[in-house]
Structure 1
Amino acid sequence: MPDRAPQPVDRQLPTDEARDLLALVRELVQREIAPKASEEEEAGRFPRELFALLSDSGLLGLPYDAEYGGGDQPYEVYLQVLEELAAARLTVGLGVSVHSLACHALAGFGTKEQQAEHLPAMLGGGLLGAYCLSEPASGSDAASLRTKAVRDGDSWVINGTKAWITHGGLADFYTVLARTGGEGPRGISAFLVPGDAEGLSAAVPEKKMGMKGSPTAQVHFDDVRVPDTRLLGEEGQGFSIALSALDSGRLGIAACAIGVAQAALDFASQYASERRQFGHPLADFQGLRFLIADMATKVEAGRALYLAAARLRDAGLPFSRQAAMAKLFCTDAAMQVTVDAVQVLGGYGYTADFPVERYMREAKVLQIVEGTNQIQRMVIARHLMGPEGR
């Protein structure tokens, strides 16, 4: 069955500029993304040309400073753009979120000279970024990472392997967290590494159950040399930079999750209205009506939660706990909503002829990336009750 563009969502947007921006995104989705999303995902094609278009349209730098080519948009608006993109194709929405995450360290902690040199190309010059924190032996326990950066004169030499890197092997730049000192979080620093650096290579992409169009690969650093001018922030500040990025990145994942859930809800609702059994549309049966009502409630609640966290961020207030809550709730909601969408379609939902099985496979990874939902519960509990073992 041909892909359908997502149904318009009633949104409360803060400015006329934001409303125009969302209209532009919806037009781009209907023209460039939705019509071929299932076909390209099944073929495992990454839409690099589409990311160039997004960059040209100013959609890869929305939450960053206009001085360097960004869109100067509040997170409240940026996240709703991500939701619209993810509803059409998660590879695109998540790809924009990862790119934004990769820009965070430079935009938030780089010097003015570093920002002026690199940010314009990263935000609007067609470049694509990747974020390198996880490793084969350190996923949730990111502070135990082993990749090392050793100072050599006015340069750093990086050795190690990063794992589960979205855009691995395709990115034009990598924000890399590496150990420059002793054990623990205080020995970690952040670097901006060009994608064509000598000694940098990527493994064959992972074979995933979903998001087949989005390459996820190990990235190897073999005596990769970068100048000291590509150290971001202070030496030893890398872990706090990473945590800052992840708070914002978790909101991106939450928005993407609601996009996938909205797409599943839209498709299931329309199918139930059109499909007839026992002489009536499926939508006439109370059991199914209640199921879809519950799906819609989860979507609306998730959207409200991530937007509330975004507004705290935009106001300059602490939002780490709310970001963890949004990531936890929205991704769990997306998993349940997509499972229920498959159930609404019955046997057809289990076939690749309809997109709801793809939504279900895609929703699963959102419960894992940028901190598993078990980690989110630990973060939330720590904010409420302090660390364990005090």
Structure 2
Amino acid sequence: MESTLTKSRNRYFTEEHEAFRQSFKDFLKKEVVPHIDRWEETGDIDRFIWEKFGEMGYFGLVYPEEYGGLGLDTFYTVIFLEELQKINSGGFAAAMWAHVYLAMTHLNAEGSAAIKQRYLVPSIEGKKIGCLCITEPFGGSDVAGMRTTAVKKGDTYIINGSKTFITNGVYSDYLIVAAKTTPDLGNKGMSIFVIDRDTPGISATKLDKLGWRASDTGEIAFDNVEIPEGHLMGEENKGFQYIMQHFALERLIMGVNAHARAEYALDYAIQYMSERTAFGKSLDKFQALRHSVADMASEVEMCKEFNYAIASRLDKGEYVVKEASMSKLLSTKIADQVIYQCLQLLGGYGYMEEYPMARLLRDSRLGPIGGGTSEILREIIAKMVIDKKEYKPAT
């Protein structure tokens, strides 16, 4: 399987990419893997690892050199995401990519020069951790229906409301928050702010989850939180456009994550089958099991090729919201099915915590939910395919 995978990657990944992949794998094996089980148990990732990621430049892959980034192409991000999935902690992976590709994406795209110096630079260095606060307890996937408000008062804004299911929502240093500045305008009255964690009036509660146990997922309340007007990011009332602009990246991230964890599960199952014997022969010699693997490998390869093609287009500046939505919809569905079946291939051992499949199954289940549920994505795709609706980038 590895030789086929290598051939498929050659169209998109250079020798420099592959050298980066190997060095990142080595870094994860040495610096992260020894701590994963403890972080999964405590739900609290030690701060030192963030700074190590920063020191190695992993948080700055796509960001401008003037802020300490490396200005590299999208396929370095793909590698970053793929290898994070293969250490079997969806929670740790989510904490990293939510910081670097959700919170920091908004800082880079909408933040002023002052905001970038104050928040983006230390974020790249791993000295500040960010979270993105959009989803609300009563809104879920209905971003336009959010109730959190930001009322202008002199040279400040007063924030009131709540957010939920926020990755890094408890331990982050700053929050990127969407709020209604002109509620009467609906989704056209939304703005984006950056808020320091220690600002009076912010409280956070850690949520207990089925999977992603290593990450801190929080519900956050804002009670008359007063922030300077300079913490507005971009233009007032353009927040919804900014959010939509970045959803394509978030959905592609979820798609790449899905194909990577499915591939990890499949590789593990194939190795297990080669070593496990029954009725005098190894499991990988039973035709029914072999054909099941063939089906799964085909589906994973199709997802991977599709996701690489989308990443290539995104790298060229194309607006790929339809394709990224399709990627998340199908890749997360296939990942769930593949991991479910791979657990079955391990038999009773698949159900044991000392093997990777139980955690993989729990972590993967969030794929069709987080970042826009599959039901919402189907409606978005249907609007584009049936109703010929065109989603365009923010201007």
Greater CA drift, 104-113 or 277-286: 104-113
> Equivalents in 2 of 1:302, 1:371: separation in Å?
19
Structure 1 unaligned residues grouped into runs of 5+: 1-5
Aligned length: 382
- Structure 1 residue 235: Cα displacement: 0.5
**Matching residue's letter, 1:20:** A
Q: 1:341 to 1:20 in 2, by over 3 A?
A: same
> Equivalents in 2 of 1:210, 1:185: separation in Å?
32
Greater CA drift, 330-339 or 254-263: 254-263
Q: Deviations over 1:252-272 (max 9, x none)?
A: 111221222122112111110
Residue 79 (structure 2) aligns with: 80
- Structure 1 residue 65: Cα displacement: 1.4
> Equivalents in 1 of 2:46, 2:85: separation in Å?
14
> Equivalents in 2 of 1:342, 1:301: separation in Å?
21
> Equivalents in 2 of 1:197, 1:313: separation in Å?
36
SS in 2 for 1:73: coil
Q: Deviations over 1:59-83 (max 9, x none)?
A: 1222221221222122222022111
1:31 aligns with 2:30: yes
TM-score (norm 1): 0.93
Residue 64 (structure 2) aligns with: 65
Greater CA drift, 192-201 or 116-125: 116-125
User: 5 Å matches for 1:189-204?
Assistant: 189-203=191-205
**Matching residue's letter, 1:369:** G
Q: Deviations over 1:5-27 (max 9, x none)?
A: x9996333544432332122111
**Matching residue's letter, 1:108:** A
Q: 1:105 to 1:39 in 2, by over 3 A?
A: closer
Residue 215 (structure 2) aligns with: 214
> Equivalents in 2 of 1:32, 1:333: separation in Å?
31
> Equivalents in 2 of 1:326, 1:202: separation in Å?
32
**Matching residue's letter, 2:23:** L
Question: Percent of aligned pairs with the same residue?
Answer: 34
**Matching residue's letter, 1:198:** P
TM-score (norm 2): 0.91
Residue 44 (structure 1) aligns with: 43
Residue 263 (structure 2) aligns with: 262
SS in 2 for 1:365: coil
- Structure 1 residue 118: Cα displacement: 2.8
SS in 1 for 2:193: strand
Q: 1:67 to 1:302 in 2, by over 3 A?
A: same
- Structure 1 residue 92: Cα displacement: 2.6
- Structure 1 residue 35: Cα displacement: 4.2
Q: Deviations over 1:81-104 (max 9, x none)?
A: 111112212223222221121111
User: 5 Å matches for 1:1-390?
Assistant: 10=6, 11-12=9-10, 13-88=12-87, 89-99=89-99, 100-183=101-184, 184-203=186-205, 205-386=206-387
Greater CA drift, 350-359 or 360-369: 350-359
> Equivalents in 2 of 1:143, 1:191: separation in Å?
16
- Structure 1 residue 52: Cα displacement: 2.2
- RMSD of the alignment, in Å? 2.0
Greater CA drift, 233-242 or 101-110: 101-110
Quick check: 1:51–1:126 contact (8 Å CA) kept in 2? Answer: yes
Quick check: 2:91–2:211 contact (8 Å CA) kept in 1? Answer: no
- Structure 1 residue 338: Cα displacement: 0.6
- Structure 1 residue 287: Cα displacement: 0.8
**Matching residue's letter, 1:134:** T
